[in-house]
Structure 1
Amino acid sequence: MSYQSSLWTRTLCAFAIALSLPSAALAADEFAVSAAQMQALGVQLQRLEKPASIPGMTYPARVVLPPSQEYVVSAPLAGVVDQLLVGQNEAVKPGQALLRLVSPELGEQQLKLMEAASRNRLAQRTLQREKQLAAEGIVPDRRAQDAETAAAEDRARLRQAEAALRLAGLDAASIRRVAEGGAMQDALVIRARAGGTVTDIGIKTGQRVQQSDPLVRVADTSKLWLDIQLPVERQSQVTARGGQVNVVGRDTSAVTTSLGTTVSESQTVTLRADVTRGAPLLRPGEFVQVQVAFAGGGEGWPVPVAAVARQGDKAYVFVRTETGFLATPVEVLDSAGQALRVKGTLRPGQQIAITSVIGLKAAWLGKGGGN
């Protein structure tokens, strides 16, 4: 027997059972159905627990890395890449060494620092001597003032030389050692500014680079965005800020933060969401399917689509009573797939029919209900 024939047969049986139901004096929207008749009709029940939301509509989304979560390590000085200390896709910690760069400019800057430090020490000693002589009246105060001005200028040159080496990536201990006349470094170790994953290495060992050339790209994927492609006509169904988003097939969720103001050629707008849970399960650039919760929220009962019967322009669910069922009017708030969220005079603990509703509707209308 074909599927259509089986369905038609079951429908005829449902009407036949409905016509055979006893005509006890009941309220207009309540009708009697025994347990045996329920079994014959194939009625299944679902217990109402508490008002809740239903999974929203499903849309495509792209995983995006926020600009603030990525940085590029550039060459602070011109030189030659002496050694690469990390590999592609390797996780790095803040301050971890990425590569060694041999640069003639590094030696020149260290020499400038040594000279500036030496002049500063001499200027400080001269200032102290001139102040003492001026206090004893041996020299005029003007000489002490000139010495103070010269010491301030030499101190500024020292700070400038130190700042240049800091920008080049030399650590504080090395700068202090050079300033004190210690050994100079022949190579510069370039380190990660923040933790993350090495996503791109743009150079090779032995390659000559110029100042500001990009060397290594590092991304922190602990924070991600979802750019959801939302059809224009669906804008009013979602919450642009604070709405719940779940990634299909992943233990990952997000919260909406903004809705785009421009419409693409495919008539979609971008709904952006911050990933709040499960970011390690996603990869920047991949496409996923997401469920976006409906806007509005409020109290509502999640029920299967098959549980709702239509009569005219009204919707009903059939609530189980001691003797049968009560056709209870409801308002459909939203729908997604095979689920609806309805509002009506329903209570936790009640049971509603979720299958063979067409047979129950025939029994209800056969008793004069639904007027």
Structure 2
Amino acid sequence: MARIAYKFIPSLILVLLLGCKNSGEEKSETELTDDLTITISKAQFEAGGMKLGTLETKPFPTIIEATGTIDVPPQSKAVISALMGGYIKETPLLIGDRVKKGQMLLKLESPEFITLQQNYLEAKQQLAFLKADFDRQKQLVAENITSQKNFLKAESDYKGKLALCNGLRQKLVLLNIPIEQVEAGNIRSDANIYAPISGSVTKIHISKGVYVSPTDKIMEIVDNDHIHLELQVFEKDIMSLNIGQKIAFSIPEASSETYEAEVYLIGTHIEENRTVMVHA
């Protein structure tokens, strides 16, 4: 949890300082009237670190304390799961490993992958026959040689098989199974899962040989390049904050060092605990 200290100059500070100035003048007049004079020597003046100057306004910083967490935006997080159920065949990564977008994370193996490829090849072969029959019926109906019913049936069969073939093809694409290899007759039992973002592996929920379903989390990746603070600031302090304002924060659980951040987003919704979310 991050501890945050905000510094700002209140708009009323000048009024307060002017009041202090007038008070100082009245006190001075009293001292002159009572003829109260303090005399010091040059040595005392220098030893006390004194210097001459004029009355001026000075800012009095006010500290706003808030607590929060360190996080990354949603687009910098990725939860890896499988499109279809299968067994973990290969998982070469460990927690903390850096990965690049498009890098292979693991291999998944399942008999369903084989069935899917077989169904695609069968549908593609049938599609060629149905396409030829559809073109022939279209020509015959144009010449009034065949009935409209035969043409409509040929059209329905062809378009239905076309939709099925395209759907199976898209599934293979999502599973990262190369279409060219399948159409060449090279059927495989495994499929690769690749990293959708660059980042570090923060969690691994599986091990080799474990069966995972599409609802299971396999691993999680976080990109820390866009790390930010999510702060809970009380509503009474929100008006004192501005976009671009510098803040100082520390992480007690990690070290005693103080870091610097900058406010880039101030929320507008007030939570039930009367706080507003601020991002820095």
For residue 204 of structure 1, the aligned residue among 195, 207, 216 is 207
In the alignment, which residue of structure 2 is the partner of 1:247?
Answer: 248
**CA offsets 1:202-255 (integer angstroms, 9 cap, x no match):** 00012122332111111222233423243565344334xx25242342254332
Secondary structure at 2:226 match in 1:
coil
In the alignment, which residue of structure 1 is the partner of 2:39?
Answer: 20
Secondary structure at 1:228 match in 2:
strand
How far is 1:104 from its partner? 1.0
In the aligned structure 1, how far is the partner of 2:115 from the partner of 2:199?
Answer: 33
In the alignment, which residue of structure 2 is the partner of 1:191?
Answer: 194
In the aligned structure 1, how far is the partner of 2:236 from the partner of 2:261?
Answer: 26
In the aligned structure 2, how far is the partner of 1:95 from the partner of 1:111?
Answer: 27
Calculate the TM-score normalised by the size of structure 1.
Answer: 0.54
Distance 1:103 1:234, change over 3 A: same
For residue 97 of structure 1, the aligned residue among 82, 101, 104 is 104
1:71 aligns with 2:107: no
- Structure number, greater radius of gyration: 1
Query: Could you tell me which amino acid in structure 2 is paired with residue 212 of structure 1?
Result: T
Query: Could you tell me which amino acid in structure 2 is paired with residue 247 of structure 1?
Result: A
1:149 aligns with 2:159: no
In the alignment, which residue of structure 2 is the partner of 1:215?
Answer: 218
Query: Could you tell me which amino acid in structure 1 is paired with residue 164 of structure 2?
Result: R
Query: Could you tell me which amino acid in structure 2 is paired with residue 222 of structure 1?
Result: D
**CA offsets 1:62-93 (integer angstroms, 9 cap, x no match):** 21233443221112222211110322122222
**CA offsets 1:251-310 (integer angstroms, 9 cap, x no match):** 54332321552354xxx7244214xxxxxxxxxxxxxxxxxxxxxxxxxxxxxxxxxxxx
For residue 107 of structure 1, the aligned residue among 103, 114, 120 is 114
Give structure 1 stretches of 5+ with no counterpart: 1-16, 22-33, 275-371
In the aligned structure 1, how far is the partner of 2:126 from the partner of 2:59?
Answer: 76
**CA offsets 1:135-168 (integer angstroms, 9 cap, x no match):** 455434543343222211111111121233334x
Query: In the comparison of the two structures, how many residue pairs are matched?
Result: 234
Secondary structure at 1:247 match in 2:
strand
How far is 1:181 from its partner? 4.8
In the alignment, which residue of structure 2 is the partner of 1:119?
Answer: 126
Distance 1:263 1:235, change over 3 A: farther
Among the aligned pairs, what percent are the same residue?
A: 24
Please identify which structure carries the higher strand content: 1
Distance 1:228 1:46, change over 3 A: farther
Query: Could you tell me which amino acid in structure 2 is paired with residue 85 of structure 1?
Result: P
For residue 262 of structure 1, the aligned residue among 244, 247, 271 is 271
In the alignment, which residue of structure 1 is the partner of 2:27?
Answer: none
Secondary structure at 2:263 match in 1:
strand
Please identify which structure carries the higher helix content: 2
In the alignment, which residue of structure 1 is the partner of 2:22?
Answer: none
In the aligned structure 1, how far is the partner of 2:202 from the partner of 2:63?
Answer: 34
Secondary structure at 1:237 match in 2:
coil
RMSD: 3.4
